[in-house]
């Protein structure tokens, strides 16, 4: 059969064959069909990239919660606790609770007062306060001080006076006397 002798049926077959070849060629070039699946290691790496920021964020949030709640749970340290922990406290700010020692209160040149506080066992800490003490501040009253400890002296910038009878009733061992009178 000569080239010019092709019948329409032969031409249709030829066209179909070329079309099938083109489809096979397109399929072979299509990477989506023949691309191998990701290995397990690559899947793990991809998951790690996705989840690692969330893990870091959760750890940071957990650290902040533990640190914040840990500081919030300890309202104050007693004189005895402070003296036993003196080496580990450093110069961190905390609250110190004690009873103002009689005849230890003097005014200083910063507008505050210098005095001593004692604990249950009679141990004492010297206090240098840089703020004006509250009006109810006096010897023999329990106080809570805000500040830091350095070389055995507590440097305070706030004095809170505990003066209610409910406090004294709740903690009789912490209050030696009130206004000079024995309880």
HSE-CB at 15 with a 13 A cutoff on CA atoms is: 7
Q: List binding-site positions for heme.
A: 163, 167
**Binding site: what residues are annotated?**
163, 167
Tokens 């790690």 locate to: 48
């Amino acid at each position: 059969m000569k080239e010019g002798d092709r019948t329409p049926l032969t031409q249709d077959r030829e066209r179909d064959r070329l079309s099938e070849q083109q489809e096979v060629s397109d399929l072979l070039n299509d990477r989506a069909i023949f691309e191998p699946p990701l290995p397990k290691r690559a899947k793990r790496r991809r998951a790690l990239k996705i989840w690692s920021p969330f893990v870091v964020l959760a750890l940071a949030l957990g650290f902040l919660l533990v640190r914040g709640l840990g500081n919030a749970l300890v309202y104050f340290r007693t004189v005895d606790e402070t003296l036993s922990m003196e080496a580990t406290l450093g110069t961190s700010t905390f609250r110190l609770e004690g009873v103002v020692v009689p005849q230890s209160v003097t005014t200083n040149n910063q507008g505050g007062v210098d005095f001593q506080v004692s604990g249950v066992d009679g141990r004492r800490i010297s206090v240098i306060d840089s703020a004006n003490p509250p009006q109810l501040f006096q010897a023999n009253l329990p106080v809570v001080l805000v500040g830091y400890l350095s070389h055995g002296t507590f440097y305070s910038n706030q004095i809170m006076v505990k003066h209610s009878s409910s406090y004294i009733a709740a903690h009789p061992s912490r209050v030696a006397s009130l206004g000079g009178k024995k309880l």
